[in-house]
Each structure stands twice: as C-alpha cells, then as structure tokens.
Amino acid sequence: MSDVTTLYEAVDRCLAAGETIAVATIVRRKGSSPREVGAKMLIRANGDTDGTVGGGCGEADVWRAALDVMADREPRTVLVDLTEEISMNTDGVCGGIMEIFVEPWVPEPAEADAAQIDTSHLDLPGCSTFGPSARALTCALLEAVAAKRPAVLATVLACMGPMPRATGDRLLLVDGEVRAGGFHAPGLQQRVLADVAAIIAEGRSCVRTYTLEPASSLHPGSLPASVGAQGSRPDGSRPPGNEVAPTGTASVFFELALPKPVLVIVGAGHVAVPVAEVGRLLDFDVVVIDDRPSFANRARFPSADRIVVDDFETALDALPITPSTYVVLVTRGHAHDVRSLRKIVEQPAAYIGMIGSRRRVFAVFKLLHEEGVPIDALLRLHAPIGLDVETETPGEIAVSIGAEILKARRGGRAASLSDRTREQHRASLLKDAERWLVSR
C-alpha cells in the first residue's frame, strides 16, 4: 500500500468522525529536498500528525500554518527554504526549496458556500454542488486506487483576477472523467480536463498555470445582469471602474494516483529471485513467469504479487503489455528468449531488458531481424541488461537491473551495458542485411 493511499485512508477516517483537519502537500521543489513532490502530512486539531513532508524546522512551520488553516478554513502556501549555510549545528542534509500547500478538509461543506454559485451548467456525476462532501472525494479516490484505475486530483493552489472563491477547489478525475468535486471557474475546469490525459502519460504529479479570459473564468451569475461576460453593457459601453475586464490566472496541482507499474520477470532461475525482491522494494507489482512449478512457486518468490506457471508464450499472450509494464528476460536458454521476445518486442512496454552475453544477445537480434522485426524495435531492448557496473552474484546483478529500470522510469545519466553495444549491433545487423540482398 502506498504512502498516499495510507494518508487518504487517514483523511477519510477523520472526516467520517466529523474532524476538521489540514493536509500539507509538497507541490513544487527545487534542488535537494527530503521528500518528493506529492508527499503529504495530515495535521489534526490537537496537533497530532500522520505522514511527513521532511521533518525539521520546515515541517514545524507547516504544522503551525496548518493550525491556522483549520481555524479559518483558508488554504495557505508555505515556502520551506533549506538553502541556509550548512554548519555542524544544522538539522538535515538537504539544501533545496519546497513549496508546500496546506489546505483544510472539512467534513461537510457550508451550505451558504454552495448556494453562492450556480452549478446547474456543470455535469458532475453524483454532485449537485461542488462536491456534496469532502468525504465523497476521498471515498471515490480510494475506490479508484483499489480498482487500479488511474485517478488525478486537481487542486487550485492560487488564483488572480476575476475568479472568486477558487483557491482550494478540488476536482477528482478517474479514467479521465469527473468523479467528484468541481471548480468555480468553468473555463479552468475545461482546460484541466483537456490536459489530464497528457499529464497521466507523463506519469508525474506537477503544477500547471493557466491564463483564462474573463468569460471563462467567471460563472454566469458572477456579473451583474447589465454587464456582459467581457465586462460591457449591451450597448458596448463599460460601467465605471470596469474599463478593462482583466484576465484570470490560476495554478493547479495535479496529484496522480496511478496503478503501480508492473514488473514482469520471465524466467524463475537464480537471478530472478533477487530481481523480484528489488522490484518489490521499488514498489512494482511483480509477476513471475516460468514453465517449471519447481521454480515458479510461492516458497521461492514470497513477495511476488502473481506467479504464472505456464509456457512463456502462452503466459505473455495473456498478459497486458502497457506503457506501465517493465519486462526482464532471465530465461534459462536462447530459445526461450526468442519465443518470449516475439510476443513483446513490438509492444508498448516501458522497458524490456534481456540477460546474456553480447554474443547471445546478437544471435537473438539476428534471428528476429531475419524474421522481419525492425532494427529500431530490437535496439530499444536493454541487452545486455543492467547498468555498467561490475557484478558477480545474483544479488549484485539484480541491483544493477533494478537501477536500470529506475533510470528508465525516472531518468538519469548512468551508463547501461547496452549503451556500449547498441550501435555495434545496429552496424552488424545492417551489414547482414546487405549481404542477404547481395546474395539474392
């Protein structure tokens, strides 16, 4: 269970008990910081907390802000600057800057707030107002996580211009559709809905800033009847003090609650065992495949989420390969590598790595290329697998593989073993193709 899931379960329990609480979230960071974007801390009225945004003096500042947020129910942003000159007396080892949004979570919304805005133009399933309760949102979010469906919680961090009552608005989207909550600014909600698919594809929680024209940043009931959406009277004149209708800007934090990525380990030999443990440590759903029940079993892979005992081709046929799938080929033989790769090499996996010597790797590439697999599809494989470090034991090999998977997922500049051979394999495959053409 992820930290975020655990925290939202705590939020839901507090709301169910009628508690008003504050939740602090890291929404931006620069430089080295103790926690990642999206890390959260729950603060109760009695000062108790769940989770952490990094500890130390910065977290104390957040805690104090949270007490104010619960008192006046107004969200705040706290800037935690860890760039002070480091001395022997300095707490912590990080030297970056974190922007932390602290927001109230109230068991039931004030009816007066809901009545101030006409929401009849919005189609929010199950919501007659902007979220009948905060708990409706937490329940829907937790249900999506349990069902392994992609969810995004969009929260307005700050706004300027004609967008009343917008800061702190929340909108929950599941499978790209509105599930709970809503924004007071309909134009902002439309922009967020248009962006959510691309943000899910990026796979990272982030902040985006939007500039909105007055017509889209205000609700229809926000202006006097005699004033048009652009701030003008029907005759085209502008009322006093409204010569220019300003644009609105809003910053929105997109918090992703996505299903765990899946690590598929093809082969259950001696290297696969520590690879499964590394995958679990990296918070993957781990699937182990082998055709030998004496190898693919719970005794050898106690932490695997799923163990499939079947021939490799049948098992891979039945397994969805998506951009969130990472495949590690550690089979016991060349023939199994070839049969497995035939099934997955042109599928949209985020990562495919194959163990083996340079000679074995090229033999597999050559055979599949002769069968019609494009060179570029073959060369996206990480083969030989792992980062370019000296390894001897299965555990060391597994750490090298796990680090390369992390590089593929998060980015980085560490060299891979396949970096040294990729262009050599390309040249050899092209040369073989030329020879074949000449021989015809």
Q: Domain containing 292 — which CATH number?
A: 3.40.50.720
pLDDT score recorded for residue 46: 93
Amino acid at 151: A
Buried b (16+ CB within 10 A) or exposed e, 18-43: ebbbbbbbbbbbeeebbbebbbbbbb
State whether 123 and 190 are in the same domain.
yes
**Of the candidates 229, 258, 287, which is a domain's last residue?**
258
d(CA 202, CA 301): 31
* Same domain (yes/no): 254, 327: no
Domain boundary, last residue among 107, 124, 146:
107
Shared-domain flag, residues 293 and 428: yes
Are residues 370 and 305 part of one domain? Answer: yes
User: Which of 64, 66, 71, 98 has the alpha carbon at shortest distance from 82?
Assistant: 98
190-195 own/partner pairs: CB under 8 Å, 24+ apart: 190/216, 192/154, 192/252, 192/254, 195/254
In a domain, 230, yes or no: no
Average pLDDT over residues 113-141: 54
Question: Band of the pLDDT at 120, cuts 50, 70, 90?
Answer: very low
What pLDDT score was predicted for residue 109? 53
According to DSSP, residue 81 is labeled E
Structural domain for 294, as ranges: 262-439
Is residue 383 domain-shared with residue 358, that is, in the same domain? yes
How much is the average pLDDT of 113-130?
Answer: 36
Q: What mean pLDDT, rounded, does the chain reach?
A: 84
For range 16-22, the mean pLDDT: 94
Element (H, E) at 159: strand 151-160
pLDDT at residue 213 in the model: 73
27-41, 194-208, 257-271, 317-331: range with lowest mean pLDDT? 27-41
pTM here is 0.74
C-alpha–C-alpha distance, residues 283 and 262, integer Å: 9
- Record the tokens describing residue 96, joined without a space: 């970056």
Shared domain for 211 and 300, answered yes or no, is no
Residue 241 lies in a domain: no
The pLDDT score that the predictor gives to residue 436 is 58
Number of domains in the chain: 3
pLDDT for residue 199 is more than 80: yes
* Joined tokens for residue 225: 């009847």
- pLDDT of residue 197 exceeding 80, the answer is yes
Positive/negative CA dihedral, 399, 404, 410, 414: positive
Which of 39, 73, 107 terminates a domain? The answer is 107
Close Cβ partners of 333 (under 8 Å, ≥ 6 residues apart)? none
Residue tagged 């990080």 (tokens): 94
Ranges 228-242, 348-362, 369-383, 418-432: which has the least confidence:
228-242
